[in-house]
Structure 1
């Protein structure tokens, strides 16, 4: 039976990776770029649609991911903060695939795979919660699923406000899934070296 609830995935990849000094979306791990890993996770999941939001270094990144056949939008205002990129992706999905819920994910969490995304989707079906987030090391965060109920609030965030602000504000409507490896993201060259060395 096909799942009638439509899920869209927004991959946020608009940042300039200023702390790293090069586009982290294109760092390689196990033979693939971090962005390719994110795209494959979305494409192999139960989600119905997916969009990458690019910003800084968009041309360079597009060149490298052209083969992935994934929808993409460019947020020219990426410097305004994460909220504008998230909204760019959400508006694109609302106009093009009318999702009932969206999953927000980043392009620098190398251990996010289709199983984690499917777990968010399945947990939504099995709970009454309208927000399903990953939890790691005493906090919660992305990937995170929001139902349509929260689209207006997502669209009203500003600056560097991210999805976490909504998750914290609506813990009464939150279900979390345990994902310790979600704590691993790549912000600095040290993070990347640790990832590659497996430490």
Structure 2
């Protein structure tokens, strides 16, 4: 693994945030954390601490300024976002096709509690020919890092399954990284999740 103390310049962070939050009862991207930051804003801030280049996938009608997207974060519009996360992922990868990055980290816009150090650990393991999978207590979490060998296949993802089938089909090319970070499993689907995970983070668990 290569030394990496600051944000990675070889791995791009791609934040998927074009979903409709149907289980949340409202736009969860704007939901506030106990520290006053929005759920999406905090997720982006975490990504920016680990990756020098960060892009976010939004819906065509989203107002980036209203969502608080910070300067320097690139924006990709997914015209087919309502058809599932796979379409948003494909739109993001297509936009990055000309990049010289070794790999891309696929992050979710509703996971603000992942430690930046965990993301840096994953970035150190990135390889153009490999897929990096984070694990905590026997469960696979996020983000997954795809070497650029897999980008053409990611451009073809569709529906709600994202890249699950791609990972399954390339099990021999996956590297598992064990992390001491329960937040890699904590994505917010409901308001109860927001309250529970936020409280757990404040207690330091």
2: distance between equivalents of 1:174 and 1:73? Answer: 27
Q: Which has the higher helix share?
A: 1
Taking the TM superposition and a 5 Å limit, the aligned residue runs for 1:1-199 are 6-29=10-33, 30-45=35-50, 47-55=51-59, 58-59=62-63, 62-95=65-98, 97-124=99-126, 130-179=130-179, 180-198=182-200
CA drift at 1:58: 1.5
CA drift at 1:71: 0.9
Q: Which runs of 5+ in 1 are unaligned?
A: none
Q: Which has the higher strand share?
A: 1
CA drift at 1:100: 2.0
How many residues get paired?
A: 194
CA drift at 1:161: 2.4
Write the deviation string for residues 177-198 of structure 1: whole angstroms up to 9, x where unpaired.
Answer: 2343211111011111212333
CA drift at 1:156: 1.9
Q: TM-score, normalised by structure 1?
A: 0.85
RMSD: 2.6
Secondary structure of 2:15's counterpart equals strand
Q: Which runs of 5+ in 2 are unaligned?
A: none
1: distance between equivalents of 2:104 and 2:148? Answer: 8
Closer/same/farther in 2, CA of residues 44 and 58 from structure 1, 3 Å limit? same
